[in-house]
Chain A
């Protein structure tokens, strides 16, 4: 056969490539800042720092009062945590030819900025794990059920404000891998109770319940050092006037987007910013859990 009409014959008519109408999102760790922290909005009453006071524990003196004695005064004292503001943001400059020929709109870049800011806030919050003054240090060893039990018991011995609050474990992907392994190896007993089943089907950024803890797997858990992760057990939540959350984020201004037009350059700046600070609001409501990275 000869003289077939092929792609080569119609080369001028063939569209070399066709883009889908949808641009796939970039890959990034899930942003879980809202699940692990207490939001303090100071946008209406700004100051450079936010102070979070708390009562120190003072006890009833031992013994009993003799009939003719007076009670000894017990001083009431407070401690505090502070949050200092920082401005976080990024700017992108989009040229008009790029916007026109690529069909990219400012709002697409704004959405991407928003996702980036959410990741950054999560990362800043979880970075506080390493500043916890209470720690279960299993560096050099992998998380297993015994270590989980030891760490949660030690956490409870700190008397964190758990009543009416959520108990949360923020674990690295490595730690979840090891906990899954421990559950699988534990065999029928643990699975028949359903305790570990949620964990086994979990994904990064996902949430599951395990022994009364809401476990969040996050790729943004910081490192303790080069070979170990700094996971955390913490209290999260509020109950009426009580606040249990170990981590706090002070918001001076929430994420905002501004467009700045440059007619002489024929470009547009897309600026996204937020003014916030993060801190440990109560060390007793937080416990670092140090475990080995490698399997």
Chain B
């Protein structure tokens, strides 16, 4: 992987899912101590970020045995880099685990359930006198 440090080209970026379900591009290169490192022939999330709940998008797909889904995402990134498609990967093609993270971590309070809605079904009805 000598090309990782070729000064004439940009280092690769690897899509990573954060603890809230956001997908971000992490730049990876020897000497760049970011969230993703390249070692032993593969990319992996650094320990400190792993502890926060970050995970490679590829691993989300593979954990759901959805290899073709990951290939579709790579196809999207490739087409995007060549300017062949408009930005925006459809949510329906994302791993279920990523969508679940997003559902559990909405960006604003308005999208969160109210406490009364959470407990409404579980709280026993008051006993009548």
Chain A residues packing against B (C-beta within 8 Å): 81-90, 116-117, 120, 123-124, 127-128, 130-131, 133, 135, 137, 139, 222-227, 230, 276-280, 283
Contact = CB atoms under 8 A, between A and B. Distances in A.
Interface string B70-85: 0000000000100000
Contacts of A230: 24
B32 A128 contact: yes
B119 interface: no
B54 to A, nearest CB: 8
Given A88-B7, A89-B7, A277 B87 contact: no
Nearest to A123: B10
Interface string B18-37: 10101111110111111110
B20 A131 contact: no
Q: Which of B20, B30, B80 has the most CB of A within 10 A?
A: B30
Contacts of A137: 20, 22, 107
A90 B34 CA distance: 23
Q: Which of B8, B25, B87 has the most CB of A within 10 A?
A: B25
B32 A224 contact: no
Contact of B5 (A87, A133, A226, A283): A87
B37 to A, nearest CB: 8
Interface of B: 5, 7-8, 10-11, 18, 20, 22-27, 29-36, 48-49, 52, 80, 87-88, 107
A276 B34 contact: no
Given A84-B31, A84-B33, A224 B25 contact: yes
A89 B29 CA distance: 13
Nearest to B18: A135
B32 A277 contact: yes
Given A90-B8, A127-B32, A279-B34, 12 more contacts: A82-B33, A86-B30, A86-B31, A86-B32, A124-B29, A127-B27, A133-B49, A135-B22, A224-B25, A225-B24, A225-B25, A280-B34
9 contacts: A81-B33, A84-B31, A88-B31, A131-B33, A133-B48, A224-B24, A226-B88, A278-B31, A279-B34
